[in-house]
Amino acid sequence: MAQGKFYITTPIYYVNDRPHIGHVYTTTVADVLARYHRMRGEAVFSLTGTDEHAAKVVDAAAERGLTPLQWADRNAAAFQETFKKLGVDNDDFIRTSQDRHKTRVQAYVRKLIDTGDVYLGEYAGWYDAGQEEYLAESKAKEYDYKSPFNGKPLVRKTEKNYFFKLSRYSDALLKLLEERPTFVQPDARRNEVIGRIREGLNDVPISRQASGDAAAAWGIKVPGDEGHVIYVWIDALFNYLSTVDDDARRAFWPANVHLVAKDILWFHAVIWPAMLMALKIELPGQVYAHSFWISDGQKMSKSLGNFIDLERIDKYVETFGLDALRYFLANNGPMGTTDSDFAESKFIEVYNTELANTLGNCSNRVTNMTSRYFEGKLPAKGPHVAASEKFATAASDATAKYVRAMERLHISDAIGAAMDLVRAVDSYIEQTQPYKLQKDPAKLPEVGTILYHGAEALRIAAVLLWPVIPAKAEELLRRLGRGDDAAKLADHGKGDFAAWTQWGLLQPGTPITQAQPLFPRYQPPKPA
Ligand code: ME8
């Protein structure tokens, strides 16, 4: 399966939180990439899930009179429902409280103890209880010994802990980052990681002492030492491996892409590969760290109450449709090194210009004119008109550009390549004016040429856009007489990308359907 397989992961989200736009973003982008690879005929495995063994889950459950697992069940279900509702077609959903995960994590840690990469030692440090992480002395000082995340005082803690010998891997990690420059992307993030490794690596604690009945029962015990629970971060990172660590799925490993945001890059770009090196397990292909969505110009935070939460997400879906939300996230999201602002005005602008005016309008023009002038049947290619023959090249250039961009996870460039093809159809129609030509019956074959080329270019654009806007792209394919292709795509992304992006698949005489606008223009309600 090494060739033609694609395994992509998202972070597994803290089960104490309610899903918000940040979680939806990473999982949607992973879904877009998974769909793209499925449509290419690859064996794809896309994974998302929940990270459940944080100590604060125990407290949150107790406050509600629930067991940690009951509380986790409830919140994990909220994540699963949200992703399902938002059209995410993931292949599995891992929960770290599942036995399949827990038993494997114990086996990995057992092996690390056996190799001497994990040892029992003593740790004293500044602990951020909200984040469940220790801060380096320099960072703790910089933030005045308060949490950089919630401002609460850091706690000085000394404990006996199991440690992972991260310090042993500093040279190997630097070599990895040098030899495989795309291991961490984007480049600026890679450079940050290199800089920090060069400052020196300390061994990291990978367990906490099991204290209190509930806390001791919640989490994965260090094998052979019931008094310690594996630190939630180490437990969580192993999900990527544990989920595919069986005979049926092992060939998916190594993961091709771990998609994360910049907040958790260190764990993924340094600690995770070092642990895999210690276990002598093949390393993943890439860790891609995107930036953050902010909201109306400000960092989203609980205290500001400006999270784009589920309620607001639902409202967008209700008003604009699910594909419009997916398009906005994929097209305008923070895949690079700058944050993106989620503002309603921007959403409306993108919806109206790109989806309603460009894609929607262009599709409607082509199908409606075909319907009116050719009794709903796709006309013959007809005689040469203006630059008609250039469309085949434009379509193959757009496809090549799209593939290059998708392979580099530059999703908005991929979308741009598809939309440029749509814009080319629009300007071709403007230039050749078929609505005027059709008045002269002698010119009808020329009108046929224009509409044939328009329909064929739109068909290819619909294929390219399918991973981002699956329902609307399938609808457009059906209108263009390619219902079978749409049905295949709807069946967990089965596709024949190479054939479908060839010019000339549409057969003259195919029934073309005129219908309601694909994306109706949005008019903001007038203030009362
Ligand atoms: O860190 N913009 O879980 P988490 C974009 N359990 N993406 C955002 C975002 C924002 N404003 N806020 C969150 C954890 N995200 C650990 C991960 S993995 C082995 C363990 C997304 O619930 C983004 O993907 O805090 C970020 O990395 C992730 O949510 C953090 O999710």
| Residue 2 scores a pLDDT above 50 | no
| Residue 418 scores a pLDDT above 70 | yes
pLDDT of residue 124: 84
3-state class (DSSP) for residue 6: strand
Residue 14 CA to ligand 1 centre (angstroms): 8
pLDDT of residue 305: 81
Torsion of CA 143, 147, 152, 158, to 10 degrees: -100
Question: Mean pLDDT over residues 191-196, rounded?
Answer: 98
* Residue whose CA lies nearest to ligand 1 atom number 8: 22
- What are the structural domains of the chain? 5-290 (3.40.50.620), 320-500 (1.10.730.10)
Name the residue among 499, 384, 519, 393 with its Cα closest to residue 452.
Answer: 384
Query: Which amino acid is located at 30 in the chain?
Result: A
* Residue whose CA lies nearest to ligand 1 atom number 16: 13
Question: Mean pLDDT over residues 246-262, rounded?
Answer: 98
pLDDT in tens, 27-75: 999 999 999 999 999 999 999 999 999 989 999 999 999 999 999 999 9
Ligand 1 pocket test, candidate residues 16, 260, 329, most atoms within 8 A of CB: 260
Is the CB of residue 203 below 6 angstroms from any atom belonging to ligand 1? Answer: no
Share of the chain above pLDDT 90, in %: 87
**And the tokens for 20?**
């918000």
Is the CB of residue 26 below 6 angstroms from any atom belonging to ligand 1? Answer: yes
Cβ atoms within 10 Å of 413's Cβ, excluding its own = 16
This prediction's pTM: 0.94
Whether the CB-CB separation of 413 and 405 falls below 8 Å is answered with yes
| CA 289 to ligand 1: nearest atom | 27
Question: Mean pLDDT over residues 417-421, rounded?
Answer: 98
Whether the CB-CB separation of 261 and 128 falls below 8 Å is answered with no
Is the CB of residue 90 below 6 angstroms from any atom belonging to ligand 1? Answer: no
Whether the CB-CB separation of 465 and 39 falls below 8 Å is answered with no
| Residue 87 scores a pLDDT above 70 | yes
How far apart, in whole angstroms, are the C-alpha atoms of residue 296 and residue 311? 17
* Residue whose CA lies nearest to ligand 1 atom number 30: 13
pLDDT in tens, 96-136: 999 999 999 999 999 999 999 999 999 888 988 887 778 88
| CA 272 to ligand 1: nearest atom | 19
Residue 23 CA to ligand 1 centre (angstroms): 6
pLDDT of residue 1: 47
How far apart, in whole angstroms, are the C-alpha atoms of residue 240 and residue 8? 9
Instruction: Give the orientation angle of helix 470-479 with respect to helix 483-490, to 10 degrees.
Output: 160
Torsion of CA 388, 390, 396, 402, to 10 degrees: -90
Q: How far is CA 102 from CA 109, 236, 421, in A?
A: 11, 10, 49
* Beta bridge mates, 353: none
Is the CB of residue 234 below 6 angstroms from any atom belonging to ligand 1? Answer: no
Contacts of 315 (CB under 8 A, 6+ apart): none
Please say whether the dihedral angle defined by the alpha carbons of residues 304, 310, 311 and 317, taken in this order, is positive or negative.
positive
Cβ atoms within 10 Å of 56's Cβ, excluding its own = 15
Label residues 204-225 b or e (16+ Cβ within 10 Å = b).
Answer: bbbbbebeeeebbebbbbbbee
| Residue 3 scores a pLDDT above 60 | no
pLDDT of residue 213: 66
Whether the CB-CB separation of 7 and 34 falls below 8 Å is answered with no
Place of tokens 């739109």: 458
Residue 443 CA to ligand 1 centre (angstroms): 58
With left for phi above 0 and alpha for psi between -120 and 50, is residue 262 left, alpha or beta? alpha
| Residue 7 scores a pLDDT above 50 | yes
* Residue whose CA lies nearest to ligand 1 atom number 18: 11
Omega within 30 of 0 (cis) for the link into 254: yes
What is the average pLDDT score of the chain? 95
pLDDT in tens, 332-364: 999 999 999 999 999 999 999 999 999 999 999
Count Cβ atoms within 10 A of the Cβ of residue 498 and give its class: 0-12 exposed, 13-18 middle, 19 or more buried.
exposed
Is the CB of residue 277 below 6 angstroms from any atom belonging to ligand 1? Answer: no
| CA 263 to ligand 1: nearest atom | 27
Q: How far is CA 25 from CA 261, 309, 340, 450, in A?
A: 10, 12, 11, 39
| CA 237 to ligand 1: nearest atom | 19
Is the CB of residue 405 below 6 angstroms from any atom belonging to ligand 1? Answer: no
Place of tokens 């495989």: 180
**And the tokens for 101?**
């995960």
